Homo-oligomer: A and B are copies of this chain.
Amino acid sequence: MSGGGRVVTPGTDPDAEWGPAEHAQVALLADVAAAPKPGNVDRDHDHSSLRLGHFLAGGVGAGAGLRDAAAADPVGGAFERAVAGMARGAGTNTQFGSLLLVVPLVRTAAAADRALSPDGAAAIAESTTVADAAAFYRAFEHVDVAVAEPPAGMGELDVRRGAAAIPRLKARGLTLYDVLSGSAADSNATEWTTGFRRTFETAAGIVDDDGPLTDRVARAFLDRLAAEADTHVRTTHGADVATEVRERAAAARGDPDAVAALDSDLLDRGINPGATADLVTAAAFVALERGVSV
């Protein structure tokens, strides 16, 4: 485990200071600084007990783990460290799901050939080990995370058991990829097992868009919200509400007043499309790696 990135001497190429870990932090911050993002904490508004400031501190705290991933350290340990730092900075869960997507993508970008592609990301995901899975379970000890009930027969591997589940994990020889393959109800897990397909698609849209990154992120968020039911909304409010949000987002696109009304209604009802934010944050990271600037 490295101590946080590249050793440089003064006067060397400043590009050495600015790589995948820094792009990842900017993506985390740009996500929460974008607006409007209906139902999310964003530039325009906080939730009652979760604020923009928490996300900024979470993004700062995740830095050490992201630098580990950029130094090609194993994905699981880098993820656990990023989550621990996020929790230490924010004092709550701000970006657990985003980091579950961003850390393997940073690790992919750190590969010798910088092949930040669906195939490259799939290879990183599929090469994870039992040790990566154990670190993933330990990460749940740092924060409360909303998760769906595990599939039948998987109760012993419920992530909410945290480190207590590790002996069972080891006995069954399950890698992090195996664990996430069993979580079909979660859109972040789906990304892991599909070469981050929707992440790369969304990134292509951000690259093709124009204007400041935060404006591109807000548009991508609404597009994703309209395209597919948010799995975090489904977990916390049920499938009907998730479908309703998707349909209303689809109808509101292109109409700022309708977007504002949707935003206001989701805030009132405590509905936070967090899985969509996770995906768009990961897509913003890919877009930054592909040359989009802030």
Contacts and interface: CB of A to CB of B under 8 A. Distances in A.
A91 B57 CA distance: 23
Contacts of A104: none
A256 interface: no
Interface string A117-139: 00000000000000000010010
Interface stretch (A25-33, A105-113, A153-161): A25-33
A282 B88 CA distance: 21
15 contacts: A1-B7, A1-B8, A8-B64, A14-B84, A14-B88, A14-B142, A25-B60, A26-B56, A30-B53, A33-B33, A43-B52, A54-B294, A89-B294, A90-B294, A91-B293
Interface residues of A, number: 52
A67 B4 contact: yes
A22 to B, nearest CB: 5
Contact of A214 (B8, B22, B53, B138): B53
A67 to B, nearest CB: 7
Interface in A215-253: none
Interface in A59-92: 59-61, 63-64, 67, 77, 80-81, 84-85, 87-91
A10 interface: yes
Contacts of A33: 33, 52-53, 56
Given A3-B6, A14-B88, A22-B60, 20 more contacts: A1-B10, A3-B3, A4-B4, A4-B6, A8-B64, A10-B135, A14-B84, A18-B85, A22-B63, A26-B57, A26-B60, A29-B57, A29-B59, A30-B56, A33-B56, A53-B213, A57-B294, A63-B63, A91-B293, A91-B294
Interface of A: 1-11, 14-15, 17-18, 22, 25-26, 29-30, 33, 43, 51-54, 56-57, 59-61, 63-64, 67, 77, 80-81, 84-85, 87-91, 135, 138, 142, 212-214, 293-294
Contact of A212 (B25, B53, B80): B53
